[in-house]
Amino acid sequence: MAGINKYFNNYGTAAKPEQRVIEDLICESIKIMGFQAFYLPNTNDSARDLLYGEDPVKKFQDAFPLEMYLSSDPKDYIGQRDIFTKFGLEIKDDINVILSRRSFQQRVPQNTFTRPREGDLVYVPVTNGVGELFEIKFVEHNKDFNMLGKKYPYFYELSLEKYKYSQELIQTGVADIDVVVSDSAYTTHLNVDSRLLHNYKPINWSAAVYNNGYLNINTVDTTLVPILQSLKVGDTFSYVMNNTTYIQQPITQVLISGSLYRIQTANTTAGTVTTFSAPLSGSNGLNYIVGELVYQSPDTTQANATSIGYVQSWDSKSDVLSLNTVAGEFIDGMFIVGASSNAQYTLVTYDPLNNPAIKENYDNSYLSTSANSIIDFSETNPFGSI
C-alpha cells in the first residue's frame, strides 16, 4: 500500500501542537541559558539611494530588549579576528547568537520590522565586561530546517561582527548604548556668550545721557556694573532716548573712569537715556539638555535652521557647548537655540579642526598644518592658480 501511515502525521496542520511545544522549549531554553540584549533597527533605511547604492547616515533611535543565546564558541570570538591589511589593522571579532522568532514578534513592532535585518545593531552587555555593539552581517532562517513542517522558523541565528562607529546617529535612551557617541563621535566645541540680556531703567543709574558720540552712564548699581564692564567692541546694545527714540548700534569703544562708563557708537542724536538693554548678543540663561537637538536659524525657528547638531555636553562654567552629528556650518554671532530646552546663547568662536573625542584621535588640525609645508604657494603657475 502506497503512502505514509495515516495514524502518524508529523507534518502540516496536524503537527501544530507539537510545533508549539518545540517553540515553547526553545523560548524557555533561551531565557534560562541566554542573556538580555538590545536590538537597534536602522530607522533611516528608507532614505537609501537604491539607484546608486549610496547609504545615508544611519539612525538608531530605538532599542528593543530581547533575550538571546550565544551559539558560537563561548570562550572566545570567532571570525578572522585581528588582521593587518594594506589599510592598517582591522579587528573582525564575530559571534553568533540565537533569537526566538516569538520574542522578536512580541517586542519589536511588526508593521515595520518583520524580522532582524542585516545592517541593524545588537548590543550585547555580557561581552568585554562592559558590553559591546555588534552589527548583523547575516540572518540564518533555516537553522531548524523547518522542523515538523513549520512554515516559519522557530528562531533566527544572527551572525554578528563587532561594530565600528562611523558618525551614525545613536539616540536610544539607553545610557550604556548611547555612550559610544560621546566616546567616539566627531565633536565640535563651541565657545558661547553667556552674558544675560537685561533691560535697565533710570533706577539703575544716577545719570545716563547721550552726547558727542558717547552714551554716558554714571552708576554703581551691582546688577548693571558687571554688564557694563563686560561690554567690548563689536557688541550690540540698544537704548531709548526721551522715551521715544529707539536706537540699536554696535559698540566702537568703551571707556571706564570710576563709576562713569562711556560707550561710543555712531549715533549723532543727543538726549536723555530712559531705557538701556545689553548685550543683545548674550543669552537667556537657560541650560542645554544633553542629547537634545540645537540649531542656528536667521529667525530662531527650527523650520528655517541653517545648521544643526546634538548636545554631547554643556559646561555652563566655561561656556563651552560640545556637539556631535553636526550638519551645516555654525556662524559666529548668531544664537544657538535648544529645540527642547529653548536655551539661547550667542556663538563667539570655535575651531572646526580641533575636534578631540574621548576614545578617538582625529588628525584634522595636524593634516592642515602639515599640508602647508607640502604645497609651495610662492611658486607661480602660468597656466592657472593653485
pLDDT in tens, 164-221: 888 888 888 888 888 888 777 788 889 998 887 777 787 878 878 888 888 888 888 8
Q: 121 with 141, same domain?
A: yes
What single DSSP character describes residue 45? G
In-domain check, residue 173: yes
Q: 247 with 366, same domain?
A: no
CA–CA gap between residue 175 and residue 372 (Å, rounded): 42
> What is the residue range of 308's domain?
188-193+284-372
Q: 20 with 93, same domain?
A: yes
Choosing from 228, 256, 278, the residue where a domain stops is 278
Q: 152 with 23, same domain?
A: yes
Angle at 300 between CA 356 and CA 311, to 5 degrees: 25
Q: 150 with 291, same domain?
A: no
In-domain check, residue 310: yes
pLDDT in tens, 4-34: 777 766 666 667 788 888 889 999 999 999 9
Of 187, 113, 173, the closest CA to residue 358 belongs to 187
In-domain check, residue 156: yes
> Would you state the cell numbers that stand for residue 20, as one nine-digit string?
508549539
Q: 29 with 157, same domain?
A: yes
Q: 93 with 122, same domain?
A: yes
Q: Please, which pLDDT band fits residue 105 given cuts at 50, 70 and 90?
A: very high
Choosing from 130, 149, 182, the residue where a domain stops is 182
Quote the pLDDT of residue 68: 94
Lowest mean pLDDT among 48-57, 223-232, 302-311: 48-57
Quote the pLDDT of residue 350: 87
Q: 211 with 299, same domain?
A: no
Q: 163 with 38, same domain?
A: yes
Query: What percent of the chain shows pLDDT beyond 70?
Result: 86
What single DSSP character describes residue 297? -
Main-chain phi, psi angles of 146, to 5 degrees = 50, 50
Q: Please, which pLDDT band fits residue 49 given cuts at 50, 70 and 90?
A: low
In-domain check, residue 342: yes
In-domain check, residue 94: yes
Between 283 and 135, where is the model more confident? Answer: 135
In-domain check, residue 253: yes
Choosing from 150, 182, 214, the residue where a domain stops is 182
All residues at 6 or more sequence positions from 177 whose CB lies less than 8 Å from its CB, including other chains = 38, 40, 63, 123, 133, 170
Give the domain CATH number at 273: 2.40.30
Count how many domains the chain has: 3
Main-chain phi, psi angles of 66, to 5 degrees = -140, 140
CB atoms within 10 A of CB 85: 7
Q: 132 with 52, same domain?
A: yes
Quote the pLDDT of residue 373: 75
- C-alpha distance across the termini of the chain, in Å: 90
Q: Please, which pLDDT band fits residue 330 given cuts at 50, 70 and 90?
A: very high
148: left (phi over 0), alpha (psi -120 to 50) or beta: left
Task: Enumerate long-range contacts of 173-179, CB under 8 Å, 24 or more apart.
Answer: 173/63, 174/38, 174/63, 174/123, 176/123, 176/125, 176/130, 176/131, 177/38, 177/40, 177/63, 177/123, 177/133, 178/291
Of 337, 362, 340, 338, the closest CA to residue 351 belongs to 362
Q: 46 with 76, same domain?
A: yes
